Structure 1
Amino acid sequence: MAGHSKWANIQHRKGRQDEKRGKIWTRIIREITVAARQGGPDIKDNPRLRLAVEKAKAANMPADRIKYNIDKASGNLDGISYEEIRYEGYGIGGAAVMIDTMTDNRVRTVAEVRHAFSKYGGNMGTDGSVAFQFKHCGQLIFAPGSSEDKIMEVALEAGADDVVTDEDGAIEVLTPPTEFEAVQAALEAAGFKPEMAEVTMRAENTISLSGDDAARMQKLLDVIEDLDDVQAVYHNAAIEV
């Protein structure tokens, strides 16, 4: 998402997330489970778990439920074992799409993802077919009207790679994944609270879609995001909403 449509896309995405609060909790619990099993239950020593807990808090998940899922995962109790798999493909107009999943049945998951692509106008790709079009980074986005100069000063001092002002006035701070938490903490300490903050796969270039193509692309993304095993969807479509 870039240019004039970025801010509108962010607001649309937040609205969609509010509508799907229950599904978001399920995805976050999955992420907490895997992070705690892989890196241990101490959030001070486990950056991935720390980010998952922050997501849980942002989604208004109760603290006791967060603790329960960390304890359950780190206690090696009997339960489902999740596998992380990334799928790649093409949407409307050749837009690049990457899908991160967490599943206990890869046969089911790949079948559901492939079906969504084929039914709604996309095509499943091979490993690496679109990944080169994305950069793994921390991304913090501030509302139009925020002070670019002050944000830039704080962010770069804290370890950010770049600060970008989009055509609609939204300000993006980009960081190495390892510096994301430090940059976010510095900005919030300076009084700048981002509208969105996450470690993500950011598209290096975008494809603008409008009218029917935009509607078809949004439908494809909605269907993929609604799949039970999907954790995150990244794409390079700038959709007019």
Structure 2
Amino acid sequence: MAGHSKWANIQHRKGRQDEKRGAAFSKVAKEITVAAKMGGGDQAFNPRLRLAVDKAKSVNMPKDKIDNAIKKGTGELEGVDYVEVRYEGYGIGGAAVMVDCLTDNKTRTVAEVRHAFNKHGGNMGTDGCVAFQFKHCGQLIFAPGTDEAALMDAAIEAGAEDVLTNDDGSIEVVTAPNDYMTVKEALEAANFKAEFGQVTMKAENETELTGDDAAKMQKLIDVLESLDDVQEVYTSVVLEE
């Protein structure tokens, strides 16, 4: 068993992502461009691109925008040259926070991220200060009531690393990062559709926050996620409503 309110937190996060769907287009397009630049424009031989395109489809990004983002990465269309940077720090109650960015101006990006931390009760730390608290992995969350035994059999056969049943009845399938899409597609073929899925930095230990602290932490996450250069915000926090 793992986690105590995983389902509520996933539903909350999914809802907030849906609210930001418009802004997600530009972030996903950026990720597609970088993935295509690094590994080529063929999804069959570029797991990162395959994942980015899957993410684009999940927010209903038009096919022409996906294709144009790939072409910018492969050089067929002119595009901006982005670099990847990660910033680490602490939120409310000492919760670990990692912020992954794609930027064409690191000076601007670090200033914006530091300002967000400082203004909303957190503080930026040094490189590596919290990274050791996270595991890079694929994560698929299935609703309470899902047939646990059948899902476990299908997940293990598909190559998943682990299957965890949470206290609230939701089931979490954990994969290696590059196996995420393969496992997801195999489970969908077996009629198991995840309510939420991503390649993420999964916290090894969680920090529970309630009341005002939870609200302040959510504000910090929202402000960080709203920054144009920020792609993903990972945190160890579990927000109790």
TM-score range, shorter chain: over 0.9
Q: What SS does the corresponding residue of 1:44 show, helix, strand or coil?
A: helix
| Residue in 2 that maps onto 1:149 | 149
Distance 2:106 2:58 in 1: 29
| Residue in 2 that maps onto 1:51 | 51
Distance 1:75 1:92 in 2: 43
Shift of 1:73: 2.4
User: Where in structure 2 are there 5+ consecutive unaligned residues?
Assistant: none
Q: How is 1:128-207 mapped onto 2 (pairs within 5 angstroms)? A: 128-207=128-207
Q: What SS does the corresponding residue of 1:93 show, helix, strand or coil?
A: helix
Shift of 1:8: 1.3
How many corresponding residue pairs? 240
Task: Tell me which amino acid in the other structure corresponds to 2:43.
Answer: I
Shift of 1:76: 4.9
Tell me, yes or no, if structure 1 residue 4 matches structure 2 residue 8.
Answer: no
| Residue in 2 that maps onto 1:89 | 89
| Residue in 2 that maps onto 1:100 | 100
Task: Decide whether the 8 Å contact of 2:68 with 2:77 is kept in 1.
Answer: no
Question: Which runs of structure 1 show a deviation greater than 2 angstroms over 4 or more consecutive aligned residues?
Answer: 2-5, 75-79
- Report the TM-score when normalising by structure 2: 0.96
Distance 1:175 1:78 in 2: 35
Distance 1:61 1:9 in 2: 25
Structure 1 residues 29-82: Cα deviation after superposition (integer angstroms, max 9, x where no partner)? 000110111111111111111111111111101112211221232125433110
Alignment identity in percent? 66
CA RMSD of aligned residues (A): 1.1
| Residue in 2 that maps onto 1:26 | 26
- Report the TM-score when normalising by structure 1: 0.96
| Residue in 1 that maps onto 2:36 | 36
| Residue in 2 that maps onto 1:208 | 208
Structure 1 residues 110-167: Cα deviation after superposition (integer angstroms, max 9, x where no partner)? 0011011111100101011000000001111001111111111111111111110111
User: Where in structure 1 are there 5+ consecutive unaligned residues?
Assistant: none
Q: What SS does the corresponding residue of 2:137 show, helix, strand or coil?
A: strand
Q: How is 1:215-230 mapped onto 2 (pairs within 5 angstroms)? A: 215-230=215-230
Distance 2:171 2:102 in 1: 31
